[in-house]
Chains A and B, each alone.
Chain A
Amino acid sequence: MKVLFIEDEPVLADEMLGYFSTQGYLCEVASTFSGASEKIANYAYDIVVVDIGLPDGSGMQLIPSVVAQSNETGIMILSAKHSLPDKLEGLKLGADDYVTKPFYVEELNARLHALYRRKTLKGTHQIVFDSFVVDPQSKTLFHKNKEISLTKKEYQLLLYFIVNKERVVSKPSIAEHVWGDYADQLDNFDAVYVHLMNLRKKLNKASGKDYIKTVYGMGYRFSS
């Protein structure tokens, strides 16, 4: 998957590049409006991640040129503005998703994967890990062709872990992924824990292997 990150903040660009390169993405970075325009005009990307506040222009205005270049390219807006009008405008211009800063890279990763599956792979792709198969279209999990029934939240959790495997994922990040905006209302992460333990048990029962490890104080790591 080829991704262009348009981000003027060097640390954030470095973080995204650092993480997504290890995820097997082909990453490129542009830190200015003009640099980004040039890259968009000359190369094709599967996904463009665009920050709205750029030093020499609004990232919003880059969206139409990406759309004009290729319909297949997924567009993800990254904005410091948690603003509904901005979000609506971006989506109207042709963006596919909108993530507000401060964000978790794992969350961005999950969204990019979802976007990639939806736009480039047209949802036909199946996700495989060890002897498990996830079918994103029907939102089901199979182990050796046997369906394992998951609740909606367990499914979301599993996908989040698979996409971010081998990474320590913090509880707030999980909560935000599963509960969205409601995560702000959680005063502790007991609810996260309950779903996690259920998922862990189900995976363990099917395969006899413990995929989800607790990392003391930090969160959880999924490894196959």
Chain B
Amino acid sequence: MKLLTKTSLHYLWVSGVLLLASCFLWFVLLKRDISAEIKEQLELEAELVIHEIKEGNPINFPLVKIEQGQNNAVKIFKDTVIFDPLQQKNEDYYLLTQSRIINNRPYRITVTTAHIGWAEYFKAIMYMFVILVSLLICGGVGVNYLISKNIWRPFLKNMAILKGFSLAKNQDLALVKSDINEFEELNAVMTDFVTQARREYKSLQEFSENASHELQTPISIIRARLESISQLPLDTKAASYLVDAKQSLDRLSKVNKGLLLLAKLEHDNFPDLQRISLSVTVTDIIDQFEELFNSKRLHLKHDIQPVTINASPHLVNIMVSNLLSNMRNHTEPGKFVAVALSPDKLMFVNEGKLLTFSEDALFTRFKNKDAASTGIGLGLSIIKQICLVHGWVINYGYSNGRHHFTVFLKNVI
């Protein structure tokens, strides 16, 4: 629920209750005052009648009844109904009956006066309030509309800016200014937050890049020395130890290379962005991989349409070869493998079993390894990052027993 809707609803709810309460209060107060006034008027009239009786004048007041010889000394003030022959219906009246001894004779005097029925009063008041409530709702909606158009606009714009913001991209956070203090404060807090997060993100990036760089030299030394040991005459045991050490070093070297590439991808601008024929690149790489596929009794089907694109040839190379080797590593001999390139997408399809882990983990570093995999667990993260650099989107799907990796291309010429 929108904040505006929520506050409006609360506002309407409270004003409804308040209006209803004041409506009743108004009615009660009005009724009390009017009743008192009528009573006063009736008493005055009764006094006038008594005065006339004392004077011995004939009484000819309308709606006055004088009875002699009755005296119960009680003063009664009450509502009554009198039939109006003109309108053919009962009308509401107030009536005051009092007994008095005048000139040593008991009298009972009843004076009456007409008034509007309380129900009518109540109806009138209700109508007024209903109109008031409707006006308040209309006014509220109008005001809210204006508020959302003007006051909230910078806030909503900033939300959109923040949604599209990424620490990885090297762009400044430019928030829209507002004349509302709270929003300005929020902007200041967000800007601070982003600055700090970026600082930490950068230092983390630099750390991982530096760490990887620092590892390159020791890896080089170990490799050089292991290769030198390989030249020496070794017994079988020593040789097998050496082979294990070399294999692990190769793996370490690959992981390190992958991490380095990822760190670079996250903050470097790749300077070799240029017009390339994607179809030629893909075909070349497929040629390179063909024998590798064949050695696993896989026949790689390909349907490559001519596509020219603005991209980094270096990165495209890494991406396509990673995707191909991913496909090769995860397809059993003799199964279906295919690559298709069309102007809007590059698709890799291979037959295989359902993933044993969640699809979300697929593109996450070190998370997507199954027992059979010999990869280093970075290939797909690298692929995803390369897509990001170019503004492409990579999608994974599984249907009819086949895995589909689709790169949706942009910057096609």
Contacts and interface: CB of A to CB of B under 8 A. Distances in A.
A187 B295 CA distance: 12
Contact of A181 (B213, B216, B317): B317
A185 B325 contact: yes
Interface in B261-301: 261, 264, 268, 270-272, 285, 288-289, 291-292, 295
A217 interface: yes
A217 B221 contact: no
Interface in A72-117: 80-85, 88, 100-106
Interface SS of chain B: helix
B250 A216 contact: no
Given A80-B216, A82-B260, A191 B270 contact: no
B230 A170 contact: yes
Contacts of A167: 231
B264 A83 contact: yes
Contacts of B375: 187
Nearest to B315: A84
Nearest to A176: B250
A219 interface: yes
A11 B271 contact: no
Given A168-B230, A185-B325, A15 B224 contact: yes
B318 interface: yes
Contact of B243 (A15, A186, A218): A218
B260 A9 contact: no
Nearest to B252: A102
A112 to B, nearest CB: 15
Given A82-B257, A83-B264, A102 B231 contact: no
Given A82-B257, A182-B288, A104 B227 contact: yes
23 contacts: A12-B220, A15-B228, A81-B216, A82-B260, A84-B270, A88-B271, A88-B272, A102-B222, A105-B227, A168-B231, A170-B227, A170-B246, A179-B288, A181-B317, A182-B288, A182-B289, A184-B254, A185-B324, A187-B325, A187-B375, A188-B374, A217-B239, A219-B230
B268 A85 contact: yes
Contacts of B338: none
Nearest to A219: B230
B329 interface: yes
A101 B230 contact: no
A215 B236 CA distance: 11
B281 to A, nearest CB: 13
A9 B221 contact: yes
A185 B321 contact: yes
A11 B218 CA distance: 10
Contacts of A188: 374
